[in-house]
Amino acid sequence: MKVSYHGHAVVKVETANHTILVDPFINGNGACDLDASKVKADVILLTHAHNDHVGDTLEIAKRNDALVVAPNELANYLGTKGLNVHPMHIGGSREFNFGKVKFTQAFHGSSYTEEDGTVVYGGMPGGILLTAEGKTIYHLGDTALFSDLKMYGEMHDIDLAFIPIGDNFTMGPEDALVAADWVKAKVVVPIHYNTFPVIEQDPNDFVSKVKTGEGKVLEIGEALEI
């Protein structure tokens, strides 16, 4: 399985038979190397409704006839836009043909702002545990530090964790180090930093301090084989 990072919280997972995008914020994301008009996806997983996470889901999903898996209210909203959606909720899991998805808690907000300024309630934010081809990836989404991360680390054998470090809107580096200790992933990759001035951080400093698992900075477009 190949897993690559594309700036902000954008992650691409390529299994033998499927391409899965998580939070495909491409246009407006100066750090992203993907082209929303060309990127392929069979599945899009969304952690929450904020525009910098839903991103280009509408265009990508329609062009690829991709399945969009998202928290219930967000999925239902995207369904009204003509997308093929599967709604889920916090604590729920489901086996799909591409793997197993489980939504975890995340302490954050979740609303989508339409072009005319209308704000649409997006339900609860979440993190996503994706298990495919015998490997488990944990995308924490946008979240503060919370103690149940320790429980998720105890319940799941996590191979790769994407943890936000930007601060201001999510946990910062200090709290993210605690989160890394708790989720006990074999590899920890920082996300959600340096997209905007208010979330500027040094990812190399963060990974140098990771004690549980291997901390690794993924450059834009760089991939790991797990």
- Tens digit of pLDDT for each residue in 150-168? 999 999 999 999 999 999 9
For the chain, residues with pLDDT lower than 70 are none
Q: What is the CA radius of gyration of the chain?
A: 16
Residue 106 confidence (pLDDT): 98
Residue 158 confidence (pLDDT): 98
Residue 55 confidence (pLDDT): 98
Contact in structure between 196 and 170 (CB atoms under 8 Å): no
Rounded Cα distance, 23 and 10, in Å: 5
For the segment 58-69, what is each residue's pLDDT rounded down to a tens digit? Answer: 999 999 999 999
- Strand ranges across the sheet with 67-71: 84-88, 67-71, 43-45, 19-22, 11-14, 2-5, 223-225
- What single string gives the DSSP state of each residue in the chain? -EEEE-STT-EEEE-SS-EEEES---TT-TT----TTT---SEEE-S---HHHHTTHHHHHHHHT-EEEEEHHHHHHHHTTT-EEEEE-TT-EEEETTEEEEEEE--S--EEE-TTS-EEE----EEEEEEETTEEEEE--S----THHHHHHHHS--SEEEEE---TTS--HHHHHHHHHHH--SEEEEES-SSSGGG---HHHHHHT--SSEE-PPPTT-EEE-
Rounded Cα distance, 87 and 69, in Å: 6
**Amino acid (one-letter) located at 58:** L
The CATH architecture one would assign to domain 2-220 is 4-Layer Sandwich (3.60)
**Amino acid (one-letter) located at 20:** I
This prediction's pTM: 0.97
Rounded Cα distance, 42 and 17, in Å: 9
Give residue limits of the domains in the chain.
2-220
Residue 32 confidence (pLDDT): 96
Residue 123 confidence (pLDDT): 96
